[in-house]
Amino acid sequence: MKSMETAAQVLTKTVNGVAVDDMAQTVDAIKSNPAIAQFKFRIRNEWAGGSQNTSTVNGFHGATQEQSRRKPFVLEADEPPVLLGQDKAANPVEHLLHALASCLTTSIVYHAAARGIHIEEIESTLEGDLDLHGFLELDPRVRNGYQAVRVKFKIKADVPDDQLHEICGLGTGHSPVYDSLVKGVPVSVTAERL
């Protein structure tokens, strides 16, 4: 992969597959017009019976305008049989781990690119601890959510060991999902009749 990236870099000035010139231009554009930095991401979810539901992802607001996709992305959710589902898709707390892994990885890749650090491979395994005493109201001392999440990265890059941990810190230091999950986010929930 490294040789491909080096070839691509010559043509389009990319590092790690990221167009670093475009990233620098975005930063300059935001400095002259801060409104460019304001994004609103959206999904629409529909229940499909039991433990199954589907989200549709399409438009968002960003860079001062409404943005849309050529076609919407469809994301499914279900539960495994032991949690009373049909096992047609990953479950919500597994989707949360995917959001975290993907955001940390992209944050590492983008910010390493901005610093000229070439990365060859990144893998991660994530594990989260959940105690159903919370969800099932069996013990008020047990929280409903994850008690802890562990992320283990394996990174291949031509850097010394101490820089490997620095690269990992580019993820935790910038990732929107990591920040949201570790520090918490205000979430308002309202309901009306359909």
Interactions with its own copies, residue window 12-41 (CB under 8 A): 14, 16-19, 22-23, 26-27, 30-31, 34, 36-41
For residues 87 to 126, the per-residue mask of contacts with its own copies, x marking binding by CB under 8 A and - elsewhere, is: x-xxxxxxxxxxxxxxxxxxx-xx--------x-xxxxxx
Beta-bridged to residue 19, according to DSSP, are 14
The binder of its own copies chosen from 3, 70, 140, 162 (CB under 8 A): 70
Q: Which of 131, 148, 149 has the alpha carbon at shortest distance from 140?
A: 131
Check if the beta carbon of residue 90 is closer than 8 Å to that of residue 104. no
Least distance (Å) from its own copies to the CB of residue 11?
14
The binder of its own copies chosen from 129, 140, 141, 162 (CB under 8 A): 129
The binder of its own copies chosen from 6, 13, 33, 135 (CB under 8 A): 135
* 7 is a contact residue toward its own copies (CB under 8 A): no
* 140 is a contact residue toward its own copies (CB under 8 A): no
Look at residue 73 and give its three-state secondary structure: strand
Residue with Cβ nearer its own copies (10 or 187): 187
Least distance (Å) from its own copies to the CB of residue 66?
11
Check if the beta carbon of residue 13 is closer than 8 Å to that of residue 21. yes
Check if the beta carbon of residue 9 is closer than 8 Å to that of residue 1. no
* 189 is a contact residue toward its own copies (CB under 8 A): yes
**What is the token pair recorded at 26?**
């975005």
Give dist(CA 145, CA 147) in Å, integer: 6
Q: How many CB atoms lie within 10 A of CB 26?
A: 14
Least distance (Å) from its own copies to the CB of residue 189?
4
The binder of its own copies chosen from 1, 7, 12, 13 (CB under 8 A): 1
Least distance (Å) from its own copies to the CB of residue 83?
7
Least distance (Å) from its own copies to the CB of residue 143?
6
Give dist(CA 46, CA 48) in Å, integer: 6
Give the count of alpha carbons within 13 A of 176, CB side only. Answer: 7
Write out the binding residues for its own copies, residues 148-167 only, by CB under 8 A.
148-156, 161, 164-165, 167
Q: DSSP letters of 63-105? A: TTEEE--SS-EEEEE---GGGTS--SS--HHHHHHHHHHHHHH
